[in-house]
Amino acid sequence: MNKVSPSVMCINTMELKEKITALDKANVDLYHIDVMDGHFVPNFCLNGYIMKDIAAISKTPMDVHLMVTNPTEYIEYFAECGAAYITMHLETLVHPIRALKKIRGLGVKAGIAINPSTGIDRLAYMLDDIDMVCIMTVEPGFAGQTLIPATIDKITAVRKMFTDAGKDVEIMVDGQVKETTAPKLVAAGANILVVGTSGLFNAFSPEEYPKVIQFYQNLV
Ligand code: DX5
Ligand code: ZN
């Protein structure tokens, strides 16, 4: 079974409570919380306050995607806000192994995100410290973009890197994951699907969520 993580930045904040309730009824596995600093990416987005508001009405775990230049400064903060996963961009880390160990030390799953043009070779030196790799299928910072096809092979390469080393890892894909792209992404080795505008909120009504979430969860 794949995990489905709706991207909360794609929900109209005026409808947040109603949408979270409908998504919980559809048994989503995670909520994807995009955090942006206007520096690593040219945009701003969600924060710890929204996480606490969601945690007050839902038991569904949250995965926090830190699109910020200094993610290590905010590990404790987002752990306190209830993050089940904290994912940092490899492009922002000088000492990734130390940062991953810090996240795990707080009982939170440790994730590394890589941009479309970032290679995977550095991951080979931290296989024991990574719980999840987030492969960005679009340039980070905005919802509603078009998937970059060259990123699909990267999913297979990362899955092979860990499998060849006898290691387990979760692979998240983030960016235009939708009905027509998700099958290819899962076939390539992804198992956590972040669904935002085209994959969920702009394409389906809350009444349709159970069916479409099941579709994504059951892809092989
Ligand atoms: C983009 C974010 C994604 C985005 C996905 O920087 O990391 O989570 O919200 O939105 P869609 O699915 O519309 O590409
Ligand atoms: Zn994201």
Q: What is the pLDDT of residues 53-99, one digit of tens each?
A: 999 999 999 999 999 999 999 999 999 999 999 999 999 999 999 99
| The predicted structure's pLDDT at residue 160 | 98
CA of 17 to the centre of ligand 2 (A): 20
Q: How confident is the model at residue 139 (pLDDT cuts 50, 70, 90)?
A: very high
**CA dist., res. 194 & res. 13, Å (int):** 18
| The predicted structure's pLDDT at residue 88 | 99
Give the tens place of pLDDT for each residue, 87-133: 999 999 999 999 999 999 999 999 999 999 999 999 999 999 999 99
Q: What mean pLDDT do residues 14-27 have?
A: 98
Q: Is the dihedral of CA 13, 116, 1, 129 positive or negative?
A: negative
Instruction: Report angle CA 58, 5, 1 to the nearest 5 degrees.
Output: 105
**Under CATH, what is the fold of the domain 3-217?**
TIM Barrel (3.20.20)
CA of 148 to the centre of ligand 1 (A): 13
Q: What is the DSSP string of 42-85?
A: S-B---HHHHHHHHHH----EEEEEESS-GGGGHHHHHHTTEEE
Q: How confident is the model at residue 147 (pLDDT cuts 50, 70, 90)?
A: very high
Q: Which protein residue's CA is at the shortest distance from atom 7 of ligand 1?
A: 140
Residue 34 falls in the annotated catalytic set: yes
Going from N- to C-terminal start, the domains of the chain cover 3-217
Please identify, by atom number, the ligand 1 atom nearest to the C-alpha of residue 141. 6
Residue 131 falls in the annotated catalytic set: no
Amino acid at 145: Q
